[in-house]
Amino acid sequence: MLKSIEIDGFRGFDSLLIKDLRRVNLIVGPSASGKTAFLEAVRLAIGATPGVLWSLNSHRGLLVGFPVPIGREQFESVWSSYFYNFDLTRPILFNMTDELQRHASVRIYFDAKAAVTPTPQVGVPGTPAPSTIVPLAFERHSFAGEDSRVQATVSPQNGQVLLEPAPELGSAHELFATAGQHPGQVAGWFSLASTQNRERDIVAAVVDAFPLVTDLSVQAIPGQPVLLYASVKNSPRKLPISLVSSGITKFVSIITAVRQFQNGIVLIDEIENGTYYQKFEQLFSVLNKSSQAARAQIFLTTHSLEFLKAASRVIEENPDDFSLIQIIQGPRGTEALVVPGANAAAAIENNIEVRSAHVH
C-alpha cells in the first residue's frame, strides 16, 4: 500500500508531494483540476512501462496508430501530452513510499544516447525516408531495491514502434469513466473469483443492493463471447448483466476488480457515474468491505457531494482507513489538500471546506 507519492513534471503537475495516503483515498476537486491526471500518475508510477503509458491514451480516447516507419515528430507527439507544459526536455519523475517504508522511483525521459535510425526500405515505392528516433526511457527502482531500464523505441530494421515489456513495480488496475470496462474482462474476473470460492460475497452484495437480481454466473454460449449473466426476477432467461442495468454493471465491475487485485491498487474515476444516488452509501460500504478483505488500496474520484455525504457515514465507522484529497489550482499550480482520518468525515459534512488542511 502506498503511503506517499511525489509527482514531478507529469501532465499539469509541476511538483506535488502527497502524504498520509490510506487504504481508501477519495479525490475531489473542480472539473479540469487534475483528478483523473492524479489517477493516471499513480497508475504510471506503479506500472512504470511503455505499455502502461500507451494504455493511458486509450483511456483518454486517443487511439493513435503507428505508421511504419514512424517519423520523429509523430513518435514524440504520442507521448508529449504527458510532459509538463509539453516540455520534452524535462523528465517525468515519481517517488513512492509504501507502508513498509520501502522506496520506489521512476524516471521517464527521452534518451538521446540511445537514438535509432532505421535502415531505409529499399524498393518499396512511396516509403518515406526513415528519421532518427530518440527512445523514451523508463529508469526504474523497485520496492525490492532492484534497478532496471526499459524503453519505447523503434526497430532498427523497419522503423516499427517497439514497447519493451517488463514486470510492473506493483499490482494496479484502473477503472476510468471515459473508457468503461470491457464485459469480457469483468466476466474473467468473476470467473477467477469463482474458482477461488470468493464469488458468493460478490453475489450477496449485488443481490442486497439490487433485489431484482437473484444470482450471477458466467456463461459460455457457442458463437458468443463469454459474459457475466444475471438471474433476474420474473425473467424466464438469464440476461447479460450489461442488458439489466448500467448501474449494476458498474457496481459488479468495481467489486470484482477490488477482489481480483489482492494486495494491489484499484483506481476508480467518477465512481458515481451510472449509480442511483440512493445506492451511494451501499456502494461505498461494499467497496470498503471488499478492500478490507482483499487488502487492496483504493483511489477514487468523484464530482458528487451526495456521494461524499454518503461516504462520510462509512468513514465515521473506520476513520483511520480513509483520506480525503482535494486537488486544486493554486498560485503555485496544481496543489493538494489532504485531510486524513476522522477529519475527512468532518470536512465532507462541512461541504469540503478543507482550506485549513495542510498543503503538501
d(CA 139, CA 91) in angstroms, rounded, equals 11
pLDDT at 357: 39
Cβ–Cβ < 8 Å for 308, 322: no
Cβ–Cβ < 8 Å for 261, 171: yes
Q: What does the DSSP 8-state code read for residue 46?
A: H
List, for residues 167-213, the tens digit of each pLDDT value.
999 988 877 665 556 778 888 888 988 888 888 988 998 898 899 99
From residue 241, give the alpha-carbon distance in Å to each of 61, 219, 238, 278: 25, 11, 9, 20
List, for residues 279-335, the tens digit of each pLDDT value.
898 889 999 999 998 899 999 999 888 999 999 889 988 889 999 999 988 777 788
Which sequence spans correspond to the domains of the chain?
62-166, 181-245
d(CA 33, CA 160) in angstroms, rounded, equals 36
118-128: average pLDDT: 64
pLDDT at 67: 74
CA geometry: angle at 18 spanning 41 and 273, to 5°?
55
Q: What does the DSSP 8-state code read for residue 33?
A: S
pLDDT at 262: 85
List, for residues 148-179, the tens digit of each pLDDT value.
999 999 999 888 899 999 999 998 887 766 55
231-254: average pLDDT: 88
% of the chain residues with pLDDT over 70: 91
Say whether pLDDT at 251 is over 90. Answer: no
Burial class (CB in 10 A: 0-12, 13-18, 19+), 233: exposed
Say whether pLDDT at 129 is over 90. Answer: no
Quote the mean pLDDT of the chain.
87
